[in-house]
Structure 1
Amino acid sequence: MVLRSCCKFGPVLVWFRLGYVVLLWLCVTHLRCARAETKTVVQKDAEFDVTYNDTVTSDNQTIYAFNHTVSRNKTEGVRVTVNILSEGAESSPILFVVRQKQAVLSFQVPLILRGLYQRKYPYAHVGRTLCQPPTRSLTETQYFFVDVSTLSSLGTHYQLRISRVDSFTLHTDKKFSFTASPSQPQYFKYVFPDGVDTVIVKVNSEMTFPCSVMSIQDIQCPVYDLDNNVAFIGMYQTMTKTAAITVQRKDFPSNSFYVVVVVKTEDEACGGPLRFYPLRPDELIDAGNRSKILDVVVSPAISSDVYVMGMLFCLGIFLSFYLLTFLVACVENKRSVDRPTVVYRKPGVTPVSPYEYGSFVDNASTLSSEAITDSIASDANYGYMGQETLKRRPFLTAIHHVAIRIERSLESVAGRSRQESLSSIEEDDYDTLADIDSDKNIVRTKKYLCVSDLARKDKRVLSKKYQIYFWNIATIGVFYALPVIQLVITYQTVVNVTGNQDICYYNFLCAHPLGNLSAFNNILSNLGYVMLGLLFLLIVLQRDIIHSRALDRNDLNALECGIPKHFGLFYAMGTALMMEGLLSACYHVCPNYTNFQFDTSFMYMIAGLCVLKLYQKRHPDINASAYTAYACLAAVIFFSVLGVVFGKGNMVFWIVFSVLHILATMLLSTQLYYMGRWRLDSGILRRIVYVIYTDCIRQCSGPMYIDRMVLLVMGNIVNWSLAAYGLLKTPNDFASYLLAIAICNLLLYFAFYIIMKLRSGERIQCMAMVCILFTAVVWGFALFFFFQGLSTWQKTPAESREHNRDCIVLSFFDDHDIWHFLSSIAMFGSFLVLLTMDDDLDNVQRDKIFVF
């Protein structure tokens, strides 16, 4: 029964509820109409350049009506200026609504702008420029209205002024000065003249702070000209003293754009300090005086002819190296054809080992003192057995020269084969042991080693071992470059889509776009690394072919003279130089601190490969394998990434890195001093203590390998000093700091190599000397341009732009591009030095070439 009753009276209840809703709506509407009847709306015909002083309350609303004539051939700006005169207006702001033909602009006064941590800054004085919708008629009268209203029951006194901006349109190459503040932004219109497709908009100021934003926006309404919305559209940059944006006509269908300048409420985006923290999140903070005087100038950018000239200039420089190399190769080939093949044996070069002294003691005692003196006088000016050595050890030196004379007499009498004479491993040199030819420790403990002592392994095995360097670095390059290219394309896309030009640290005063690339000139200048790396590979290939042919015909010079020729590391160096060019170009697509490792990774590899090649020249049997070398370089790159991400101001990271740096230096020093004849195990500490006790405490004996000890002591001093500098200064640019460590060690070892080469009586041929001098000069000029510092990602983008400078070559290349040119040439020259510096030994027997 109850259910039936509900069903019966259900429609009645629905109609009752509907009637109740309608009655409620009628009551609310009546109340609104009654309230509206009590509010007074006043419309006034207003004029330009007249200041209106008025008061507004919740009971009245004032509408100011303006009209002005708009000409299609002349663009004028209209500016609205409002000032609140009443105290305590923050609690009851006034709303200003400007109604135009195609746009509506509304803002409250006091204008509340938010900063970092949502801090609020009120501005009682506000100035806004109205956007200008385009007109199709030659002249047209446009109307706009300014509505003033508030919900405050108390009267708020205000001033309103509408004025024309006569200098609203910017002209090419004409500077215009103006003043802006956070509540009074400024923007101006620029129209592309005929024949100009690209322009550079430059905004400058003598004042570093307050921080500002320069934006390029299309001609449309509304114009985003406040700190909280200027980044919504177009391209924009933060600035302290300077900002520059290159604008292309193709990006703006109307052939015109707005240049918007906004002063920020805070300076943190430009590297300024935090002023103070609010006590409460909703606390209003006095903004103070943040007006800034600026000037803007729009200049035409370079034409397409300059792009062509820049590309031809770049290609011409590096193709000239190909031509010069071809001419030198032709001259050298002619000289080699005309020169007969002779195995040159330098007199008096045979080094002495500790084992040779005892072999001829008995014979030496039968010789006259005159013979000994003559022998000493004839051969005492070479290598390690110089005048100082004669003074220290005259008896042993005399025995050495007697041994040389006996060896020569035996060669002439017995007629030994040349194969036997070329070998530095003679049966008389050692005690009679069964493993004399196989135990490497017996050979490597000699005090004076020859290259033949450390070139005992099979040549085919060593060649394959060093070819792995090339194949590994080629594989690393492919797998490293592909994600890098993908990432930088993403970076460039983000810059183009968002318009945020603070992402990339260009030299904006000399950044020439091409297609989607923002700075094509910085990418083009890296072509030298690729071209010269390829040229070096061709030079190495030519030498490799010549050497292989000499081996095929069993040329004794190629088999048993000179530094053993293994070209795998040279191929790896050339490949690394090409990869450096590719990755440097990728870095300059969008240079910033997160991808700086792309520009430096193969620099570490180049430095490491050069050190390995220097060591390999005299130590071919005991040089590091490719897997070990690349594993160490991978660890270096790993620490480089950690340093960029965590190293800035992190003392824990710097302590860990400095300790590892010192430990690695000590382990490498031990490895080099003992030539691998040591073990890192649980007994290492006991052996160290034993050596210190026997050699330093029990008896003070000098090091057995003095030259190696000098190098390693200097290397440890340099590396410990660099570690201390990093620990004390904690430089922000960790990647450059790590690269400086690698370069210092390379230069130290190279200088040691040159000094020891000259000290051993060897000479540097003309070609190698020209390469050394040329490379040194080019490196000097290259470093000069490198330290110009056109931008730096160690600072904020705005601060980085303070270092920007104009182009210096062909109006296309800047100082950093010249660094790319010169450094690629200098690296190529450095590789040629390593390739040619031991050419003087090509006809010297390996048992006459010292190891150092």
Structure 2
Amino acid sequence: MVLRSCWKSRHKTSRGAAVRPVLPAALLWFCVTRLACAGGALAETNIVVQKEAEFDVTYNDTATSENQTIYAFNHTVSRNKSEGVRVSVDVLSRGLESPILFVVRQKQAVLSFQIPLILRGLYQRKYPYNHVGRTLCQPPTLVASETQYFFVDVSTLSSQGTNYQLRVSRVESFTLHTDKKFSFTASPSQPQYFKYVFPDGVDTVIVKVNSDMTFPCSVMSIQDIQCPVYDLDNNVAFIGMYQTMTKKGAITVQRKDFPSNSFYVVVVVKTEDEACGGPLRFYPLRPDVLIDAGNRSKDIDVIVTPAIKLEVYVMGMLFCLGIFLSFYLLTFLMACLENKRLCRMKRRECLIPADVSPAETASLLGKNGDGKIPASPYEYGSLADNGSTLSSEAVTDSATSTDIYGYAERSLDSVGRSRLESLSSVEEDDYDTLDDIDSDKNIVRTKKFLYVADLSRKDKRILSKKYQIYFWNIATIAVFYALPVVQLVITYQTVVNVTGNQDICYYNFLCAHPMGALSAFNNILSNLGYVLLGLLFLLIVLKRDVIHQRALLRNDLNALECGIPKHFGLYYAMGTALMMEGLLSACYHVCPNYTNFQFDTSFMYMIAGLCMLKLYQKRHPDINASAYTAYACLAGVIFFSVLGVVFGKGNNVFWIVFSVIHILATMLLSTQLYYMGRWRLDSGILRRIVNVIYTDCIRQCSGPMYIDRMVLLVMGNIVNWSLAAYGLIERPNDFASYLLAIAICNLLLYFAFYIIMKLRSGERIQCLPLVIILFTAVVWGLALYFFFQGLSTWQKTPAESREHNRDCILLQFFDDHDIWHFLSSIAMFGSFLVLLTMDDDLDTVQRDKIFAF
């Protein structure tokens, strides 16, 4: 404007006169002169005062629009000594129309803030602060010692005088030391940060921040040594690593991430507590209204401790491998002892004359075995005294001796023919759709007392193929399920590493040991047991499968006509599911949170479902569910698990729908089990239900025909209806765990029923499965104890979850949840072995003498 007026004044002309051009040099001199005059006038209205200031002196002054005060400070900076400088300002006046601006000019940075300092919270609510304290950043110096100058400029546009107090002081304890606790106080307008330098020989440290006060909510940040330092609530998340905290916070810091071998520990108190799970204050009617934040000071302790060394990593990995490889060694030793025992039996059988009767054969085997002569043929459900499996000539388990001898002397040629016929190309659908077969089913399956022979009439080859589909289907599901899961968790970990947001993943930060890009390697390593023990179970099943196939090829009567029918497809599926549980649990622990918790539980549902199917298949091989039906039901369970995680929290409609479906599914399954599949769900179902109620309950009061099944189903309905009522009333936040609890309760109930009915039917449990049952029960108890320690929970905010964090308890490397992984994998492996071996006592019992229940 001054230049424009200069130009116009030099171009004024009188009326009728011609314009005369002005020389450029003269014009420039004239305009500069006018600009200097204007600047002098401005200087007269806005006075700039510079004062030489000193540290630890409080300056009381007044700021107006007519003056600007500059405080000049100087201090000596040493390369070998870190010393902080803190600027504290307090404005005594309130309700200012125009704020006071403070600008701190340093050698490599400029820090500015206004008072009142306006910090924004949720929904853009404004909180004013009249007392501000800020620490100046200290960039490293290259010389041994130098004097640095900095200036504090104070200015305002307010015409009224505003009194303020300014104090600049040295922070003597600016550097944190290893294993030494340091205490301080912070508030939203007075953040604090301190410097830590990695000592020689320490490459990784854990920065722990503790407070006795749950609220106010605060943020802990790790930032590189650079200017500016982001130490306000609205910018602390811009760089570095950060996490919210209430009482506990911990971040593992590695030297390789900080080129200067040092970093800042920044602690900022937030303006609101909503991020830490605290109450949300009222919403202002007008967004421009300033809200009094009150006293939000927080006392905090910080301590930096060295992390574990490489030797601890090696010890942890060796310990993990040693535990599970010992099961391989134990299995190998037991297999060697078993093979040695079988070789002894074969040598004894070679000494028996060919014309000896079966009873005499059993007597000779008893003498040669342990010197005891059996007094009578083996009763139902019994074994030889030495616990061995007898040959086809030694089978004596029958109701009468005539049946025993007739069974033992059956022609091997006829057995071979029946075996070849069972291997003929016949389709199960062709077999089932014959009218006479359907009528035969109705006759057989509605008998009051059923035997395994009644429910194992289908072709063995067809059934083997049917149950092998379980394995191939779960292998296919595993591939298509695992690939996107692995990709997703890698993305999660990348986001955490790039953004530095430690609130994304719910780790136990006090025992999270990083390796490479992984933040909690120990939680991933501890899942190795599921994979190794699942593979071991597959090898054990494969060995049994090979032995059984060889027995079939040599027409062994025990394999053809005795014991529970051997179908190994479900066992293979169970072992695969256990391995996938380990893989997906490891993926979940790469970044545990509520959005990927179903990765950890999906195959748990499958394991529970497959175990129940295997228990049912043992006594009902012909009518067990097909793989397609079973996996479709499990897919429905996983679908509801995802819906529960997304919509279950506080959604009444979801819980009502789920409870109704749960109860209806329980009733339909009960009907299917009670009538052995001989019922139809069609338009006449209600009429048939009324007829049954009328004939059995009203016309004549008759008890249930199948009492054992009725007892199981009544108990199952009571348990499931109770669980449905609990979910409808309590609405637990962790829906996935609630759904898993339903599956486990049903599995335990059915397993207990199976054991009781097995003993009630005169059968017995051999020594090996009995030992495994007791061992597995103890391990399950210990595993559940460590599971319920609750080191973290995504049902709460990340800050609240960190309140449950605890230090490592095993080898300084594993925490309680890692021990849960160890014990639960062993317990699952033991449970599978129980299912595999619990009916070995029936291997020499004819199937028409084995009860189906």
Counterpart residue number, 2:86: 79
Partner of 2:365: none
- The amino acid that maps onto 1:272 is G
Q: Does 1:463 align with 2:464?
A: yes
- Show CA shifts across 1:570-621 (max 9, x none): 0000000000000000000000000000000000000000000000000000
SS in structure 1 of the partner of residue 237 of structure 2: helix
**Separation (CA, whole Å) in 1 of partners of 2:306 and 2:653:** 51
Contact 1:488/1:590 (8 A) holds in 2: yes
- Deviation of 1:133 after TM superposition, in Å, equals 1.3
Q: Which amino acid aligns with 1:56?
A: A
1:829 corresponding residue in structure 2: 830
Q: Is the 8 A contact 1:382 1:760 kept in 2?
A: no
* Distance 1:771-1:158 versus aligned 2 partners, 3 A rule: same
Equivalent residue number for residue 689 of structure 2: 688
1:94 and 2:100 matched = yes
Q: Does 1:48 align with 2:55?
A: yes
Report Cα offsets for 1:85-108 as digits up to 9, x if no partner: 11322x211000000000000000
Greater displacement, 329-338 / 542-551 = 329-338
- Cα distance in structure 1, aligned partners of 2:408 and 2:805: 75
Q: Residue 255 of structure 2 corresponds to which residue in structure 1? A: 249
Separation (CA, whole Å) in 1 of partners of 2:402 and 2:252: 82
Percent of residue pairs identical: 85
User: 2:803 aligns to what SS in structure 1?
Assistant: helix
User: 2:45 is matched with which residue: 13, 38, 50?
Assistant: 38
When residues 820 and 344 of structure 1 are mapped into structure 2, their CA distance, relative to the original with a 3 A threshold, is farther
Partner of 1:391: none
Q: Distance in 2 between matches of 1:551 and 1:820?
A: 39
Q: Secondary structure at the match of 2:516?
A: coil
1:333 is aligned to 2:339 = yes
Q: Which residue of 1 aligns with 2:271?
A: 265
Query: Is the 1:199–1:247 contact (alpha carbons within 8 Å) kept by the matching residues of 2?
Result: yes
Q: Distance in 1 between matches of 2:721 and 2:211?
A: 45
Kept in 1: contact 2:63–2:155 (CA 8 A): yes
Which one is further off, 409-418 or 134-143?
409-418
- Which residue does the alignment assign to 1:59? 66
- The aligned counterpart of 1:141 is 147
Deviation, structure 1 residue 412: 7.2
8 Å contact from structure 2 (residues 415, 555) kept in 1: no
* CA 1:489–1:670: 2 relative to 1, 3 Å: same
In structure 2, what is the Cα distance between the partners aligned to 1:673 and 1:63? 92
Structure 2 CA distance for aligned equivalents of residues 796 and 54 of structure 1:
45
Shift of 1:282: 1.1
Secondary structure of 1:803's match?
coil
- 1:82-231 to structure 2, matched below 5 A, reads 82-89=89-96, 91-231=97-237
Map 1:365-764 → 2, pairs under 5 A: 417=410, 435=436, 439-764=440-765
Shift of 1:435: 3.9
Check the 8 A contact 1:201/1:297 in 2, yes or no: yes
TM-score by length of 1: 0.87
Shift of 1:410: 8.2
Equivalent positions of 1:310-321 (< 5 A) are 310-321=316-327
Counterpart residue identity of residue 724, structure 1: A
Preserved CA contact (<8 Å) 1:76 1:168: yes
- The answer on whether the counterparts of 1:93 and 1:150 sit within 8 Å (CA) in structure 2 is yes
Q: Deviations over 1:224-276 (max 9, x none)?
A: 00000000000001000010000000000000000000000000000000122
Deviations 1:143-166 (A, max 9, x none): 000000001011111000000000
2:403 and 2:526 mapped to 1: Cα distance?
63
- Summarize the Cα distance change of 1:43–1:463 in structure 2 as closer, same or farther, 3 Å threshold: same
User: Cα 1:676–1:30, aligned 2, differ >3 Å: closer, same or farther?
Assistant: farther
Q: Which amino acid aligns with 1:43?
A: Q
Gap change, CA 1:800 and 1:453, over 3 Å in 2: same
Indicate if the aligned counterparts of 2:358 and 2:408 stay in contact, CA closer than 8 A. Answer: no
1:295 corresponds to 2:296: no
**CA–CA separation in structure 1 for the residues paired with 2:35 and 2:460:** 102
State the Cα distance separating 1:415 from its structure 2 match.
11
Q: Decide whether the 8 Å contact of 1:505 with 1:591 is kept in 2.
A: yes
Change (3 A) 1:747 1:766: same
1:549–1:132 Cα change, 3 Å:
same
Counterpart AA for 2:635 = A
Deviations 1:511-547 (A, max 9, x none): 0000000000000000000000000000000000000
Task: Please tell me whether the aligned partners of residues 344 and 844 of structure 1 are also in contact (alpha carbons under 8 angstroms).
Answer: no
Distance change in 2, residues 1:540/1:421 (3 Å): closer
Deviations 1:369-395 (A, max 9, x none): xxxxxxxxx99x989xxxxxxxxxxxx
CA distance change for structure 1 residues 613 and 436 in 2, over 3 Å: closer, same or farther?
closer
Measure how far apart 1:34 and its partner are: 3.5
Alignment match, 1:68: 75
Contact 1:673 / 1:709 at 8 angstroms: preserved in 2? yes
What is aligned with 1:398?
Answer: none
Residues 782 and 823 in structure 2, CA contact (< 8 A), matched pair in contact too: yes
C-alpha displacement at 1:278, in angstroms? 1.2
CA distance in 1, matches of 2:823, 2:552: 37
Pick closer, same or farther for the CA change 1:24–1:463 going to 2, 3 Å.
Answer: farther
Query: How many Å separate the matches in 1 of 2:759 and 2:793?
Result: 42
Paired letter, 2:473: N
Q: CA deviation at 1:653?
A: 0.4
Shift of 1:338: 2.2
Q: Distance in 2 between matches of 1:150 and 1:415?
A: 111
Cα distance in 2 between the residues matched to 1:525 and 1:496:
22
SS in 2 for 1:638: helix
Give the deviation of 1:84 after TM superposition: 0.2
Structure 1 pair 700–633 and aligned structure 2 pair: CA distance change class (3 A):
same
Contact 1:436 1:442 in 2 (8 A): no
Q: Secondary structure at the match of 1:97?
A: strand
Paired with 1:742 and 1:568, the residues of 2 have a C-alpha distance of 21
Residues 801 and 26 of structure 1: CA distance in aligned 2, closer, same or farther (over 3 Å) = farther
Contact 1:344-1:843 within 8 A present in 2 as well: no
Contact 1:48–1:161 (Cα < 8 Å) also in 2? yes
Tell me the CA shift for residue 452 of structure 1.
0.6
- Cα offset, 1:182, TM superposition: 0.2
The amino acid that maps onto 2:720 is N
User: What secondary structure is seen at the aligned counterpart in 2 of 1:167?
Assistant: coil
Q: Identify unmatched segments of 5+ residues in structure 1.
A: 1-11, 16-21, 346-377, 384-403, 424-432
Number of residue-to-residue matches in the alignment? 773
Q: Cα distance, 1:440 vs. partner?
A: 1.3
Separation of aligned partners in 2, 1:734 and 1:771: 32
* Superposed displacement of residue 434, structure 1: 10
Q: Please report the RMSD computed on the Cα atoms of aligned residues, expressed in angstroms.
A: 2.8
Gaps of 5+ in 2: 1-17, 22-27, 360-375, 382-397, 419-433
State the 1:38 CA deviation: 1.7
Deviation of the 1:30 alpha carbon: 7.5
Residue of structure 1 in register with 2:852 after alignment: 851
Quick check: 2:776–2:831 contact (8 Å CA) kept in 1? Answer: yes
- Other structure's SS at 1:231 match: coil
Residues 216 and 259 of structure 1 are in contact (CA less than 8 Å); yes or no, is this contact kept in structure 2? yes
DSSP-derived class of the 1:209 partner: coil
Deviates more, 1:444-453 or 1:40-49: 444-453
Give the direction of change, closer, same or farther, for the CA distance of 1:237–1:412 in structure 2 (3 Å limit): closer
SS at match of 1:790: coil
CA deviation vs aligned residue, 1:656-699 (integer Å, no higher than 9, x gap): 00000000000000000001101111111111111111111111
Q: Which amino acid aligns with 2:129?
A: Y
